[in-house]
Chain A
Amino acid sequence: MATPTIFDEPTRTDDGGGRPPGLSIRELGRWAWRQLTSMRTALLLLLLLALGSVPGSVVPQSNIASNEVARWKEQHLGLAPIYDKLGLFSVYDSPWFSAIYLLLMVSLVGCIVPRTFVYWRSLRAKPPAAPRNLGRLPAYVAVESDEAPDVLLERATTALRGRRYRVVPPVETTASTSVSAERGRLREAGNLLFHISVIVVLVGFAWGQLLGYKGGTIVMVGNGFSNSVTQYDDFSAGSLLDPQNLPPLNLKVNDFHVRFLKSGPHRGQPVDFGADITYTPQPGAQRRPYQLAVNHPLVLNGVSVYLVGHGYAPIFTVKDGRGQVAYKGPVTFLPQDPSFASFGVLKVPDARPDQLGFEGMFFPTYAFTMKTGPFSVFPDAHNPVVSLLAYRGDLGMDTGAPQSVYDLDTSHMTKFKKADGRDFRIDLSPGHQVRLPDGAGTVRFDGWQRWVKLQVSNSPGKGIALAGVALALVGLMGSLFIRRRRAWVRVTRRDGRSYVEVAGLDRSGNTEGLLEEVQGLAAGVVPGHVVDTGSRPASGGSATEEER
């Protein structure tokens, strides 16, 4: 059996144990188990896990960016169904990904359990007696002395204990007396702790996946939010969570402030932003104020609220062909770049005789060159302008098919044109309005306000996961840096003199300092001069040890 080295596992066979035996199901099962728990399989599974994680970072994932998944599918009509079949839009809960990590878990358990027993037995075993020929060990020192063996051995025991060795009382044979000692047994404990902790982390993670939830919502400044599924723009929950029973929370976004750098090479970069909110943690409780900011979430029992973004909502008044107000209010525009040039869609289903639709951009600080067209030079609203294209016809909202509020379906609409046939483009600053061609109505840009994007989430089990990963780190350090060593001191009486031999063996693949340690021990036993260091070069020792 291999001597345990850094990550070596005595109960793991390196090749899984040869060919499958005959027909017996029991034997076959045993063979399969040995295959699965072999180190080679574990390594292959680890590499498969790494490989399997790659597609999820390249292909958009539906539980993270569902909009992007939809866009991707539109752009790759041929590939999308194949990708869908392969689960590439939700890699991390696809059957094949689950298969990899479940197999890895089984393999891990299959390694930890027998290994724990081996370790338990070894804890109660004594360090082995001194080998017959100490000179063959990787580090070896021989010293002569005039003192009596028991004095020398007494001193050896003290020296070994001083170096935190566990020492077995001297064993006497006809020719000599020797002590054996061992240290660093925590190395294997650290190793086991690390592997067990990995399982703890996964349990905590799975717990959170099953019982946690995460939702995003855009709230206009001045409006409120209450924690129920219908209030979310996007919502994903674990399969064991009852989404009708979210913890109660009410909040109102009173104000939002943002500062941008006004000069220098990073002009326009946000300095800080935050929202003044008031919230009621329970129904009937008193409202409390809170400053919500990035890296400063509102954390309550069972629910946490994060400020993850902000943007502009231009306010419009649309009158239809009959002169009636068909729409009045803010419309959420989504920022497209750091200058906060934002895209949005205004749908007016109540307009008559035709429904009206608008899509276009909001520029917080408008600028224009012939080369670039309209753009925003600064993210703050110093010179806000909206630039829209207008459509009339059927918005398609009555078909029952769900529609995105950021997407205008123009398949049953016609674009307004100017008399010369070019697009009728509406460019407005606040307080201005424009009349649509053919008396179809008017659009007025009343002003703008801001919205904030809030993320509300709860991930139970994160304490377990954190504890697990912290323990894993402790175990890892133990398994990597604790040196497991054995040492022997033998005193042979010959011609009225004592011959002291000290030898050391490293069992953790790191022979650095082993010879120095053995020399130090020898100096501790016989504070005299060293007669013979019959040691091989330190580099050779480790190889021999590992190849055993």
Chain B
Amino acid sequence: MLSVRNLSVSLGPETAPVDIVSDVSFGIRKREILGLVGESGCGKSITSLAVMGLLPQPGPRIRTGRITLAGADVTQLQPWQRVEAGHGHIAMIFQEPMTSLNPVRRVGDQIAEAVRVHDGIRGAAALARARELLDMVRIPDAALQLSAYPHQLSGGQRQRIIIAIALACRPQVLIADEPTTALDVTIQIQILGLLRELCNRLEMSILFITHDMGVIAQLADRVAVMYAGRIVETAAVDDLFGYPGHHYTRGLMDCMPARNLGVRRLPTIPGQAPQPGTIAAGCAFAPRCEAVREVCRVAPPPRLRVSEEHEALCAFPLNGGRPA
């Protein structure tokens, strides 16, 4: 459905660009949830904005790469150009639902506005469609909630409203950037369940961005792990947690408190992630890697295959690997 090939996004002058996203490739199939996981600053949000055609101007720009949506090349197109060209839709939802909503307009009007833009219907018909969308995101008393203002709703309900607005354009791909990070766990689990249900029912694809390995394990079908602007591992979710290939993935899982209850000391990954532009030759993870060898510091790591549809960007992956 969505395919990204060799995407690099860079900052700085044309003559000396600094890559903040390097050579990122992934694809999402219909009705699939791809989890993109990584720590802050790893480039996961920039990747999603590039896919969306929403990179801030002036600012980072796509240096190389190709983004195709339902077979059409949309790399250089702005969102509205994509719509006009009939290339299908990508919708996006963000972390903080309050800042995505207009605080002084009723939520019903805000959903109806999205409906008007995409379906060209207005008035009562648009409101009826808005009610339908609210039912879809499981908001009870839809009629009542349409006349509410954002501040009258709870965080979970606001995120449902945002999802309803995103669904107004009947997207084939939904990009969700940390949509549950600001929510309490009891509400988070509901939103995750809702996204899974919508993915199946509407035959959408979802690119789910998060820093939380627990959320990934609960929701994703496949996972891409990002580190310092690169995807360092891709695998089906069971394979990734069952036998991770990259040492960074392994480290991320090991240091989660939930996996170490009762252990005196948590395993850690020493040091911290490098800043863009300071990454030396060789593997960006080498300075923090416990299995580092001399070659890792000088040569860029190869992408090796750990198993079927499971690749790691590492010269010496865990659980073996052969040339992809």
A and B are partners in one complex rather than unrelated chains:
no
Residues of A near any B CB (own CB < 8 A): none
Q: Taking beta carbons and an 8 Å cutoff, which residues of B are in contact with A?
A: none
